[in-house]
Amino acid sequence: MDIDNNERKTTLLKTIKTLKEENQPYMSSLLDEFLFLESELENLKKYPMFEVKQGDDFKQRTTPAGKRYLEVLQQYHNISKTIFSQFNKIEFVEDTAINEFYELLQTLMK
């Protein structure tokens, strides 16, 4: 996306304010975790995910970075489902950042 994390967070926090008041602190902390995990996934992509055994190209094993990536991806997916379930209950305004986020969550849910 073209928008940085601080701008996305600010925009999404505005959207969270449209939710029930008792859900707002919970969703705000989930959003922080979501953005953190998203940046963690981007950092982990820099490392190799698999190692190929020398002499036998058919044998591969997952590297520690690959294992960590899968763990973080699972957490990211779980949080996105929770956030998506809340955002799915509201109508979006004409805001491209929110719409992009919503579309991202929809693709993750498929």
pLDDT in tens, 24-52: 777 778 888 988 998 899 999 999 998 98
The token pair that represents 59 in the structure block: 């044998």
**In what helix (H) or strand (E) does residue 88 lie, and over which residues does it extend?**
none
Cα torsion 64, 70, 71, 73: sign: positive
Cα torsion 31, 33, 36, 40: sign: negative
3-class DSSP state of 60: strand
Angle between helices 64-87 and 24-44 (to 10 degrees): 150
d(CA 104, CA 91): 16
Range of the domain at 18: 5-109
Asked whether the predicted pLDDT for residue 19 surpasses 90, the reply is no
The token pair that represents 83 in the structure block: 């956030």
Confidence of residue 66 (pLDDT cuts 50, 70, 90): very high
Number of domains the chain is built from:
1
Q: What is the pLDDT of residue 29?
A: 82
Q: What is the pLDDT of residue 2?
A: 41
d(CA 59, CA 97): 43
Residue, of 18 and 3, whose pLDDT is higher = 18
d(CA 97, CA 101): 6
